[in-house]
Amino acid sequence: MKTKIYFGIFSMIFYFLKKRANDLVLKNKLMFEKNVFIGPNVVLDTEYPWLISIGKNSYLAKGVVILAHDGSTKLHTGYSKVGRVVIGEDTFVGVNSIILPHVNIGNNVIIGAGSVVTSDIPDNCVAAGNPAKVICSTSEIIEKHKQKMLLSPIYENGWTSRTGVTEKKKEKMNEDLKQTMGYII
């Protein structure tokens, strides 16, 4: 019985927060261009959404958090930090990454999953870690994966739970991926 009550309360809170976040984005002019994908459970700073800018063809994966303010100094100084966050065009931000205030991420950038971006990332780079550091160029990582694709299993549409993958395909994928990584559209 308690589980149902907690779930009901959680559902109402989630609905309220999601609606409030959507309303704030529309009212407070969060700036994002065409073809921006914002994945599930992405948190965009609802206190200062007008300080967040996302360039065209960019992708924020599940659970990304973008903060334009930071209250860590409030207790000691009486003031919170606040700063713009700019994400360039053609940029991918991986699952559960956190982007802190006063950060500029360039164009054609890949941010690895779980990264904490505390400082600027230049154009055409791959960055990962906590704190995120540049590890290579975007073209290097793309070329590396294009070469791996020549020797790896490739899966077309119909190989995800969302598209109704069959048991036979699941077994094949499990077998194929015992020793290597594959790629899917």
Read off the pLDDT of residues 131-141 as tens digits, 9 standing for 90 and up: 999 999 999 99
pLDDT on residue 29: 52
Could you list the mean pLDDT of each consecutive 10-residue stretch along the chain, which spans 185 residues?
51 50 49 84 94 96 97 94 97 98 98 98 98 98 96 92 92 95 93
pLDDT score recorded for residue 25:
47
pLDDT of residue 178: 95
Helix or strand or coil: residue 86? strand
From the list 69, 76, 102, 145, the catalytic residue is 69
pLDDT recorded at residue 19: 46
| pLDDT for position 174 | 96
Task: Please tell me the distance from the alpha carbon of residue 69 to that of residue 66, in angstroms, as a whole number.
Answer: 9
Q: Annotated catalytic, 69? A: yes
- State pLDDT tens for residues 148-180: 999 999 999 889 988 889 999 999 999 999 999
The pLDDT assigned to 9 comes to 55
Contact criterion met (CB below 8 Å) for 61 and 113 = yes
pLDDT of residue 1: 52
Q: Which residues contact 101 (CB under 8 A, 6 or more apart)?
A: 51, 67, 68, 69, 70, 81, 82, 83, 84, 85
